Amino acid sequence: MRLKGVRRSSNIEDRRRSGGARAGGIGGIGLLIILVIGYFAGVDVTPLLQGGGTTQGQSSAPLSAEEQAAAEFSARVLATIEDVWTQVFRDQLGAQYEAPVVVLFSGVTASPCGNASGATGPFYCPLDEKAYLDTDFFAYMNRALGAGGDFAAAYVIAHEVAHHVQNELGILPEVNRLRQQASQVQANALTVRLELQADCLAGVWARAVGGLLEPGDLDEALNAARRIGDDYLQRRAGQVPQPHTFTHGTSAQRQGWFARGYEAGDITACDTFSVQDL
């Protein structure tokens, strides 16, 4: 992705050296791997973490060059996302877009929705309208999931900000209301539609920033979508895929909805709640 000359968003809150909550007992990368596998594979990793606890403290170590580059990359990608949704809201919806803050952290940090960590993956909290991202997740995607590349990482950021778009449109609170009234299986099915819509909205963003794309960028995003599909991750964990437990959609669904958003470039193409076959 060509980001040279792209502005840096000011909506970045970097907690990686600001005294956020950190896990004790397990090293940062080890913790991340355990928690991310737990999240994606549907495995309860609480027993692995008990006794480790969290500590509050400020690291005196300076950010590494890699950590600085991750923040720079995230800030520039976020700027493109802000520009796209400002324009889409204005041109397609006749509305004003209010951009969220992206919190960068390392290991574990606090949020109004609970502790932010690899256990939840990168996630959006509607209570404070912030997206939470452990930048080590990019390295994990590349090393452990085989989903490397800068545009794969950009897709992750765009997907999380898409949940803010859903919140701005009133979709997220409505789905949360319905999930509270539903059975676990029904709630999972609603969550899948919510996540696939976010993939589609990320595709709308990708179409809008087409001038910044390099050869292979779309393949990176589609590969990432495939490798974080519920069926792929459950197989990778040695499980037989259980569709009633899915919360993000299959690899094919995630790829398909991202591609639909990219091809249409229109927010109305992303209505996952009105179609029967995902």
Say whether pLDDT at 47 is over 90. Answer: no
Q: Could you tell me if 34 and 26 are in contact, meaning their C-beta atoms sit under 8 angstroms apart?
A: yes
Q: Where are the beta strands (DSSP E) in 31-187?
A: 54-56, 101-105, 108-109, 116-117, 123-125, 130-134
pLDDT score, position 255: 97
Summarised one tens digit per residue, pLDDT across range 14-45 is 998 754 443 333 333 344 444 444 444 343 33
pLDDT band at residue 49, thresholds of 50, 70 and 90?
very low
Summarised one tens digit per residue, pLDDT across range 92-101 is 999 999 999 9
CA atoms within 13 A on the CB side of 253: 25
- 146 phi, psi to nearest 5 deg: 70, 30
* pTM summary value: 0.84
| Domain coordinates in residue numbering, the chain | 12-270
DSSP 217-235: HHHHHHHHHHHTSHHHHHH
Q: How far is CA 142 from the centre of its chain?
A: 15
Using CA atoms of 63, 67, 73, 78 in order, give the dihedral in degrees to the nearest 10.
-80
Nearest to 249 by CA among 262, 263, 260, 238: 260
Q: Could you tell me if 48 and 82 are in contact, meaning their C-beta atoms sit under 8 angstroms apart?
A: no
